[in-house]
Amino acid sequence: MENIYLALVIVLFILAISDLVVGVSNDAVNFLNSAIGAKAAPLWIIMAIAGLGVLIGTTFSSGMMEIARSGIFHPDKFYFSEIMLIFLAVMITDVILLDTFNTYGLPTSTTVSIVFELLGASVAIAMMKLYDSDSGMSVGDYINTSKALAIISGILLSVVIAFSFGALIQFFTRWLFSFRFEKRMSYFGALYGGFAITAIIYFMLIKGVKGASFITEDAGIWIKTNTVQIISISFIGFTVLLQLLNWIFKLNILKVIVLAGTFALAMAFAGNDLVNFIGVPLAGFESFKTLINNPGVDPDFLLMSSLKGKVQTPTLFLLLAGLVMVITLFTSRKAKSVVKTTIDLSRQDEGDERFSSSQLSRTIVRMTLKLSESISSIIPDRILANIDKQFTMVSHEKHQKDYPAFDMLRASVNLVVASILIALGTSLKLPLSTTYVTFMVAMGTSLSDRAWDRESAVYRVTGVFSVIGGWFFTALSAFTVAFLIAIFFYFGNMYAIGAMVLVSIYLVYRTHKIHTSREASKTESSKELDKINNENILEQCSLSVNTILHQTQLEYKKTITALTDFDVKALKKISQTTENIEKDAKNKKNSVTLIIAKLKEDALESGHYYVQVLDYLREILHSLNFVVKPVYTHINNNHKELSNAQLSELKVLSQYLGNLYTHITTEIKDGNFSNQENIATEQQKLLGLIDLFRKNEVKRIKKEAGSTRNSLLFMTILQETKNLCLFSFNLYKSQRDFVHYYTEKNRKF
């Protein structure tokens, strides 16, 4: 029996390694976004500093481990076998949940996940115990209700506090230094840096030291007794040191603060969040040690009272976990996706906004504008003018690719405020969500910095609500999934555990493939855009046109074939492919400002033709989508098949459209537009066929020879095919004009 439970403990530790990997991928955003967004240093330096902070921070997390043992439920009310089911359910749920969020680039909370997973699994097992006994107890007797509510309240309150403090401190910091802060930094930078670094040291060392595994009791008492002296010496020492380095070596003080803050926040993350990844497996290991120390005791009747006591986690375990976290930090692609989401929502300029607007975001922005106008009417004009002057951005190349998302002044506020709040929560033994705190601080500072202007506000607000909505979904799904898996384990025992381990492995593998495929597509699209310049814009444009026209021709033909065969699987695949092609074209159109900004002044006409070609490509893909989607919906809903006459006419259309596209792509590829009249004739034939087939359908409707749905679908395909024909010929002529212009331009030079 002990061997079986030893195997389960090993499974817990294997899941812990997996959880560390997916957890760090999610939480890397917490300490990387500010330094990366401000481009404070080369990426490898930022990662090295963060990695060192994570490694050291793990040794500060020992005191947090009791949250997993007794923070959510009363372990003395559960038997060993029940505790193991709870812990296994929690770890499997955590791996699946976090990996899914990481795949789609959404920052979620590992703290909220673990809290609600422990809550869900323990409630499930408690309910099963009550169902099988007449003890007269209730679920509340098994759950540490007061502690659980304190943790949940702390997490929710941290959202409001983080946003408010971030916005308030950033406002006054920007008002003091402005966007042109270089000169003022030479006078006050050392003072600002001394205060920032001292604040970090205070909360990291003084407040966080109580949970450190390597600090002796005597050392802790000495630090506590000499707090004032340590802080005073730190403030004076760092202020003088930074000022001297600035005078002698022209040191960038903000860069030092950002990198120090990155280190501190990485430490705070490891100290606060390591419990989320290894707390449960370590609790399982402690439970197994209790079983070993009670030989002959039935696991089904061994109460886990031992988990209520304080246990100092071995430093070796903490360092090994930290090593896994550091390796993941350097190798995880999913971490980069999550970081990108937060940076995009807080960048100073509007850009390729990831989120669309919503009615809620539009209402909030409209109300905020009115409130701002009301407040402005009360404040004296002189003060308003002073504030506006301080908040006026330094002009730069707006579409420059390597320009920072925000400056280092805001990055420093992000890091200092977030690290202080998280370290304070750690010292109070409250597992605050580092994701919630850092994300909301970043959103608060970006709001104060006027990063959410009228061009981007609705999209940013929607993005924030989408992320916050994801947090609530995390809590609900974590509780529900852990609850169901725990019940599954309770009835299925070892068979159920084995099955769920295999399922979790498959799901992680599946999401990894999805993420890899999506990132490869984004990378390829980005490389394609980077290639475009003055010399090759025509060549790249022609290549894009031919590629998309070939894909359109192929997908249209496959759609008609699948409609004829009533093949729903093929249509589903075609629908996904078409959607991806349209997204790629949309990305090209959204990046058009970047392309035009790269062109020289004498290439403005090229930019005009390039935009025109992209517009026609978008219209072509819209029309293709309006063919594929209705056909897929029709077949997927199991409506009647089209008549033989209708299918026969659609096959003819597909053949004629294919011939037209082949001739157009051949002409564009060769750069020879001498057959325009022949192509125009082909177009007219195709348009004539469409008119003929429409009349035929009207006759069939008159005779009531078919169903209404079939007729509507047939008419839709005819209309969109006509649009494909018209837009393709317009695209052909636009590309012809582009080639002629380019040829004439080169001839002049």
For the chain, the structural domain boundaries read 2-391+420-519, 532-748
Residues 6+ positions from 556 with CB-CB distance below 8 Å: 624, 627, 654, 657, 658, 721, 724
Cross-strand partners of 303: 79
pLDDT given for residue 113 in this prediction: 82
pLDDT given for residue 722 in this prediction: 93
Q: At 290, which helix (H) or strand (E)?
A: helix 253-292
Q: Using CA atoms, how far apart are residues 647 and 644, in angstroms rounded to an integer? A: 5
pLDDT one-digit tens code per residue, 442-487: 888 888 888 776 666 777 777 777 777 777 788 888 899 999 999 9
3-state secondary structure of 222: helix
- What values do phi and psi take at 294, rounded to 5? -125, 70
List the one residue out of 319, 265, 317 whose CA is nearest residue 49.
Answer: 265
Q: Which two tokens stand for residue 458?
A: 């609705």
Least confident of 40-54, 490-504, 529-543: 529-543
Per mean pLDDT, which of 461-465, 599-603, 682-686 is the most reliable? 682-686
pLDDT given for residue 716 in this prediction: 92
Predicted confidence band of residue 556 (pLDDT cuts 50, 70, 90): very high
Cα distances (angstroms) measured from residue 407 to each of 253, 298, 561, 710, 718: 13, 62, 55, 58, 54
Residues in the chain: 749
Q: Contact at 8 Å (CB) between 64 and 429?
A: yes
pLDDT given for residue 714 in this prediction: 92
Least confident of 126-130, 179-183, 197-201, 738-742: 738-742
Q: Using CA atoms, how far apart are residues 90 and 582, in angstroms rounded to an integer? A: 40
Mean pLDDT of 25-37: 74
Residue 566, sorted as left (phi over 0), alpha (psi -120 to 50) or beta, turns out to be left
Q: What percent of the chain has pLDDT over 90?
A: 12
Q: Using CA atoms, how far apart are residues 126 and 573, in angstroms rounded to an integer? A: 45
Q: Using CA atoms, how far apart are residues 59 and 318, in angstroms rounded to an integer? A: 6
pLDDT one-digit tens code per residue, 269-311: 777 677 777 888 888 888 888 888 888 788 888 888 877 766 5
pLDDT given for residue 399 in this prediction: 46
- What values do phi and psi take at 143, rounded to 5? -100, 135
Is the sign of the CA dihedral 695, 700, 703, 708 positive or negative? negative
Predicted confidence band of residue 563 (pLDDT cuts 50, 70, 90): very high
pTM of the prediction? 0.68
| CATH class, 532-748 region | mainly alpha
Residues 6+ positions from 425 with CB-CB distance below 8 Å: 154, 158, 272, 431, 432, 437
pLDDT given for residue 398 in this prediction: 46
Q: Contact at 8 Å (CB) between 146 and 73?
A: no
More confident residue, 249 or 156: 249
Mean pLDDT of 608-616: 78
Least confident of 41-55, 146-160, 201-215, 259-273: 201-215
Average pLDDT, the chain: 79
Q: How many other CB atoms are found less than 10 A from the CB of residue 508?
A: 19
Q: How many other CB atoms are found less than 10 A from the CB of residue 152?
A: 16
Q: Using CA atoms, how far apart are residues 588 and 617, in angstroms rounded to an integer? A: 10
pLDDT given for residue 237 in this prediction: 93
Mean pLDDT of 493-519: 77
pLDDT given for residue 692 in this prediction: 93
- What values do phi and psi take at 239, rounded to 5? -65, -50
Predicted confidence band of residue 749 (pLDDT cuts 50, 70, 90): very low
Q: Using CA atoms, how far apart are residues 281 and 302, in angstroms rounded to an integer? A: 19
Q: For tokens 């444009």, name the residue.
A: 541
